[in-house]
Amino acid sequence: MEEINKWLLEGEPWVEYRTRVDLLEQSENESEVIHARKEMIDHPKIQLLLEELKNWPGTVLSSHKSAKQSFHKLSFIADLGLKSDDPPINEIIKKIYKHKSDEGPFQLPMKISKHYGGSGNNEWAWALCDAPTIIYSLAKFGLDKDEQIQKAVRYLVGLVRQNGWPCTVSKELGKFRGPGRKDDPCPYANLGMLKMLSQLDEWKDSKEAHVGTECLLDLWNKSKERHPYMFYMGTDFRKIKAPLIWYDILHVLDVLSYFDWLRKDSRLRRMMERVKSKANDDGKFIPESVWMEWKGWDFGQKKQPSRWLTFLILKTLKRIG
């Protein structure tokens, strides 16, 4: 581990910063941590992301899976450790808050054709495949106690059913629903909801969180038979990649690792061992799949070990213990 940590500390400033805080457990007040954080924020790649996010919300949503979507990039910035008082995060937050739904969740511009149950027009709306991720990011920025956040969380949590969260959209999107049986849980909606709840102490051990975690682990246990809403846990799902955007093994493992009661669960352990087995002889990890939107980053290639991907996996394994 000493050699791997040394290798991580030699990486780009976001890798160094998060390694010092999450793996080495250094205080945010230590000079090395302060320096790495400043270098991270000032880095051209981070500044480019921030400039893009200042134009929130960006283009009308066409695919929630697209790595170009602003709410995915918002989540990445939040995971790096930026806070509401870091310029221009407060400016971005104000733009997010301009579009609050009556129910509570924040809205994005979307267009659902009449063929799929929508109006065919651009609408400000939300869905369970975007709303929890936005709230997760805002909570990471330090707004977890904000009343608007709490209102949105209460509403979204209340949508849970006995088998988890279904495919759900706001009233503006009409009768739209993903390609699945209406009684099935949506795997990605459950992943997003659990990711959100993992950052909220008052909800982290709730009965709803238990329902959601059981949903994902049961799907993993029955991955050959059950594929609700066409979310498979097959070959592509099992490829390690970054950043954590869609429904894949590392994203699911990372989110589930936040819930203490799962850490000895045999299903989670099997998922963990699957990820661990992908390390090379040096204990480093090479991306097996990439998002082309992120091809300029060290995790946007499949030939060399990625420091950021290796950090993500080590952080997750450390959390599980």
- DSSP secondary structure letters along 15-74: HHHHIIIIIS---TTSHHHHHHHHHHHHSHHHHHHHHHHTTTT-SPBS-TT-TT-HHHHH
pLDDT tens by residue, 77-110: 999 999 999 999 999 999 999 999 999 999 999 8
Assign 93 to helix, strand or coil: helix
pLDDT tens by residue, 187-222: 999 999 999 999 999 999 999 999 999 999 999 999
Domain ranges of the chain: 59-74+87-320
Contact between residue 245 and residue 291 where contact means Cβ atoms under 8 Å apart? yes
Q: Strand pairing partners for 124?
A: 109
List helix spans (H) across the chain: 2-9, 13-18, 31-42, 44-53, 70-80, 89-97, 131-138, 147-157, 187-197, 207-221, 249-256, 266-276, 307-320
Q: Strand pairing partners for 61?
A: 110
Assign 166 to helix, strand or coil: coil
Q: Is 207 exposed, middle or buried (0-12, 13-18, 19+ CB in 10 A)?
A: exposed
**64/83 Cα distance (integer angstroms):** 25
CATH topology of domain 59-74+87-320: Glycosyltransferase (1.50.10)
Backbone angles phi, psi at 100, to 5 degrees: -100, 130
pTM: 0.96
Length of the chain: 321
Contact between residue 151 and residue 107 where contact means Cβ atoms under 8 Å apart? no
The answer for residues whose C-beta is within 8 angstroms of residue 133's C-beta and 6 or more apart is 71, 72, 74, 75, 192, 195, 196
**246/317 Cα distance (integer angstroms):** 20
**233/248 Cα distance (integer angstroms):** 8
Question: pLDDT truncated to tens, each residue of the chain (321 aa)?
Answer: 899 999 999 999 999 999 999 999 999 999 999 999 999 999 999 999 999 999 999 987 778 899 999 999 999 999 999 999 999 999 999 999 999 999 999 999 987 666 555 566 788 999 999 999 999 999 999 999 999 999 999 999 999 999 999 999 999 887 777 888 889 999 999 999 999 999 999 999 999 999 999 999 999 999 999 999 999 999 999 999 999 999 999 999 999 999 999 999 999 999 999 999 999 999 999 999 999 999 999 999 999 999 999 999 999 999 999
Contact between residue 314 and residue 272 where contact means Cβ atoms under 8 Å apart? no
Contact between residue 187 and residue 251 where contact means Cβ atoms under 8 Å apart? no
